[in-house]
């Protein structure tokens, strides 16, 4: 019977079991697929509470997303509508305005909660 993960030892055992299940060809809607799904949820909850991943710095998120999308810094200037300000923004000399945050969120699909963080 599956139980909530409360200790690091339980967490490691759950990870080991997920690894074993993922090595198999688990049939959809089987007891093993249900076990894998429930364990994944339990592991995620434990990790969110005990091993949280901090949100990225807004500038790092922008640079990463540009790279992912194969866009240049020049294209960032076009997105923002301020070609001259893109270098100031990327260097941290100028803060993002609300309109810039909206454009970045809409165009690059960076979560707004990442872009509004202090940096």
Domain spans of the chain, in order of start? 8-50, 58-115
Radius of gyration of the chain (CA): 21
Question: What tens digit of pLDDT does each residue of 11-43 get?
Answer: 999 999 999 999 999 899 999 999 999 999 999
For 66, the token pair is 């540009």
Does the pTM surpass 0.75? The reply is no
Which CATH architecture fits 58-115? Orthogonal Bundle (1.10)
CA atoms within 13 A on the CB side of 101: 14
pLDDT digits (tens, 9 = 90+) for 49-98: 999 998 899 999 999 999 999 998 889 988 888 777 888 888 888 899 99
């Amino acid at each position: 019977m599956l139980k909530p993960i409360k200790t690091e030892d339980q967490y490691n055992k759950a990870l080991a079991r997920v690894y074993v299940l993922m090595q198999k060809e688990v049939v959809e809607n089987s007891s093993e697929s249900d076990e894998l799904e429930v364990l994944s949820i339990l592991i995620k909850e434990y990790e969110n509470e005990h091993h949280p991943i901090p949100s990225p710095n807004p500038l790092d998120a922008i640079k990463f997303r540009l790279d992912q999308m194969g866009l240049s810094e020049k294209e960032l200037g076009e997105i923002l509508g301020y070609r001259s300000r893109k270098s100031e923004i990327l260097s941290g000399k100028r803060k993002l305005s609300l309109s810039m945050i909206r454009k970045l969120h809409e165009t690059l699909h960076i979560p707004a909660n990442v872009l509004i963080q202090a940096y």
